[in-house]
Amino acid sequence: MSDILTGLNEQQRQAVSATEGFIRVIAGAGSGKTRALSHRFAYLVNEIGIMPSNVLCVTFTNKSAHEMKHRIRRLTGDNDTGYISTFHSFCVTVLQEDINVVQYPKSFLVLDNSDIDDMLKIIYEERGLTLRHMTFSRARDMIEIRKLFKDPEYYKFMISLSFEELHQKYLNAIEADDIIFWGYLYQEKKCFGLDYNDLIKYVLHIFSVDDAIRVKWQQRLEYIMIDEYQDIDDLQYRLMKVLCDYHKNLFIVGDPDQTIYTWRGANVKYLLDFDKEFPHVRTVMMMENYRSTPQILAAANSLIGNNKNRIKKNLLPTLPHGVPVVYHHAKTAEAEAKWIAFQIKELVDQGAKLSDVTILYRAHFISRTLEGVFLKEELPYTIYSGVQFFGRMEIKDTLSYLRLIVYKDDLSFLRVANVPKRNIGERRMKFLKDYAAQNQCSLYHALEKTIDNEIFKNTKAKRLLDLIEGFSRTYQDVPISELLNSLLEQSGYEAMLRTEGSQERLDNLAEFKQSVYEYETASGEECTLENYLSHVALLTNTDTASGRNAVKLMTVHTAKGLEFPYVFLCGLEEGVFPSKKTATLEAMEEERRLAFVAFTRAEKALYLTDAEGRNLDGSYRYPSRFIFNVDKDLLAYTEELDQSLLNDSNWHIGSSEKLMEGMSSQFAFNPGDRIVHSIIGAGEVIGIDRDKAAYLIKFDNLRTARSISLRAKIEAENGRN
């Protein structure tokens, strides 16, 4: 026992040794919650004598589960670590043992997004659908929404209907939504495949129809522990509640200030209201932070204190004093990146390693300017959970179009000749390659010479030639930014991305346009397309980015659960962080929690930066409200902000707060709520369109969902007289 409890503080000891009943641990960032979970598992096994196979420990990532197993093996000296897994992995385990109850084989498939897309391709080809009817991205979202809200008992059809009956429902469907949905269920059944939503649904269904199986699992799991409880959604909550209903031993760990996944269904109320849902709950507060300096924690506490929907608490420092949290306001994004590069070099001169430094941002496109500056400054870097900006598909495609206009080279031609689709597939490309080899010419010139050949009938090859030739004649007479806009429009490339529903790619393309405009402004008379392409070719050289000792670049979401000695949080501008999509006070609180997560990743030093300038829509960039949310005396400003900028920023932030207050008060219902319309009758809210100020409602007596304006008279179903 002394080994397991040694080195734990009083709150951690309470959490580890409290074994029976319902226990809630509110664990602040850096307070050692993983340590508490692993030691509690070891305490149950080594000291209480519980068999590891009777303990379930749920984490939210496979990586976390792997780390937990490693720690527990070290503590217990036993290779048996029970059930340490994600919710979905645990459900796979249950189904591999008991899915035969619903006449599925134990060799069922677990589907990922690429599998789903392959199924969608089959459905679209069979029923004559195109991406104009619905992009694959939207189709996947639609299927998930129907499974969760509109048709929550869909799985009963998958289980009870035969292949032929399910196929017939698919063939009888008329609307695109129904064709895709029933076609997908049929394709799933054909291969006995289950997606992520199915896994929990099937387990809950099996538990509901077979008491013996439910009781078997309830009795087997004598102790249940759940990490990151603030991130669980409704289905996970229902599963957990069923599993703990026999022994009634449930131990949860979470931090409401780190709820950053509501967009994918997480609901912090399950953590906040835990003591209302379960009897005799014991709450342990773990607030001692072992990660960050007192200066970093003071800034983080000050920031998150602006949120209303939280358990009031402060992280308590245990480390000695460090350096102040620095705030730097730059005149441009490039100046911001140069300042960051200079600070990193200063840290290295003081003995830090490049790998000790991490740069965080709200969205991937922010990395573009950083990459350009770091390459010039020969600062090695690595991008996590993303590719380097100029190596991204949409950027490489666009550069290939620009190169084709000037150079008509084979590499560019091969990349974009059939992007968007022009029916220039493998057979026709082979024809061009053979001709080019025989006649010692480029592929582009081969197409010019053979465009009248029968093989190019019913293709858009002639349009491609006309496009490139037209721009080749005029590109020297127009600004690159103007040429780029025309090229993206006339080629159909930007329209293709919109059709695919790829907002991140469109955002990256917008950032690329901004970079071209900035290059034009800086280059003056030397700004030719040839010079620009040479400039970018140097930027795409990633030799300096290789090696382990490199600066890390990643989004804040990617950094969740990690920690780094030195953190730069950049792009702290209104419309970037917080995101321009933030429309309600609740959403703004989530953005602030995300900023809090970023602050609390830092161990030794934290730097906050933003930049002036204009966005592509012409709007002015203001410093983020999250900078002003921190008490000014807790930040070391590199220089004072101009008073006019402060006044404008305060006006902008105040105006947006008022708009959000109005928007938040308008939406009285959430997805999943039952309502009654004064004319149509009862139904269920399955979505909210904040831009249109409308609910998406599936009414009980209507076959399809309806968008209903907030002006309509709607009340809660249980509020009827």
Q: Is residue 31 part of an annotated ligand binding site?
A: yes
Active site residue 227: yes
Q: How many CA atoms lie within 13 A of 216 on its CB side?
A: 11
Flag whether 27 is marked binding.
yes
* Residue 138 annotated as catalytic: no
Q: What's the CA dihedral at 406, 408, 413, 415 to 10 degrees?
A: -30
299 is in an annotated binding site: no
Q: Is residue 437 within a helix (H) or strand (E), and if so which, with residue range?
A: helix 426-439
Active-site option among 177, 188, 222, 227: 227
| CB of 450 closer than 8 Å to CB of 438 | no
State how beta strands 674-677 and 714-716 pair. Answer: antiparallel
Neighbours of 415 (CB within 10 A): 18
Handedness of CA 273, 278, 280, 283 (dihedral sign): negative
Residues in the chain: 721
Task: Clarify whether 457 is annotated catalytic.
Answer: no
CA distance 164 to 81: 44
Catalytic residue among 24, 338, 428, 601: 601
601 is catalytic: yes
572 in Cβ contact with 363 (< 8 Å): no
Could you tell me where the DSSP H helices lie in 476-549?
Answer: 480-491, 493-500, 503-523, 529-539
- Burial tier of 336 (Cβ tally within 10 Å: 0-12, 13-18, 19+): buried
In this structure, what token pair is assigned to residue 622?
């203001």
How far lies 504's CA from each of 508, 511, 606, 621, 632, in Å? 6, 11, 28, 20, 34
Q: Which of 11, 187, 218, 258 is catalytic?
A: 258
* Distance, CA of 253 to CA of 365 (rounded, Å): 34
Conformation bin of residue 128: beta by default, left when phi > 0, alpha when psi is -120 to 50: left
Concatenated DSSP letters of 361-404: ESSGGGHHHHHHHHHHTT--EEESSS--GGGSHHHHHHHHHHHH
| 71 counts as catalytic | no
SS3 431: helix
CA-CA-CA-CA torsion sign (381, 384, 386, 387): positive
Report the candidate in 489, 423, 433, 408 with the shortest Cα–Cα distance to residue 460. Answer: 423
User: Is there a binding annotation on residue 30?
Assistant: yes
CA angle, corner 195, sides to 168 and 273, nearest 5?
A: 120
For residue 640, how many C-alpha atoms fall within 13 Å in the half-sphere facing its CB?
4
CA distance 493 to 356: 40
Amino acid at 405: I
Q: Which of 559, 594, 27, 599 is nearest to 300 (CA)?
A: 599
685: part of which helix (H) or strand (E)? strand 681-689
Burial of 577 (0-12, 13-18, 19+ CB in 10 A): buried
- Judge if the upstream peptide bond of residue 420 is cis by omega within 30 degrees of 0: yes
Of the candidates 720, 663, 661, 714, the one whose C-alpha atom is nearest the C-alpha of residue 689 is 663
481 annotated among ligand-binding-site residues: no
Asked if residue 437 belongs to a known ligand binding site, the reply is: no
Is 32 known to sit in a ligand binding site? yes
Instruction: For residue 47, indicate whether it is catalytic.
Output: no
Structure tokens at 236: 């996970």
Chain centroid, CA 27 distance in Å? 23
Residue 81 labeled ligand binder:
no
Q: Distance between CA 173 and CA 270 in Å, rounded?
A: 38
Binding residues for ATP, as ranges, are 27-34
Catalytic sites, residue numbers: 33-34, 227-228, 258, 601
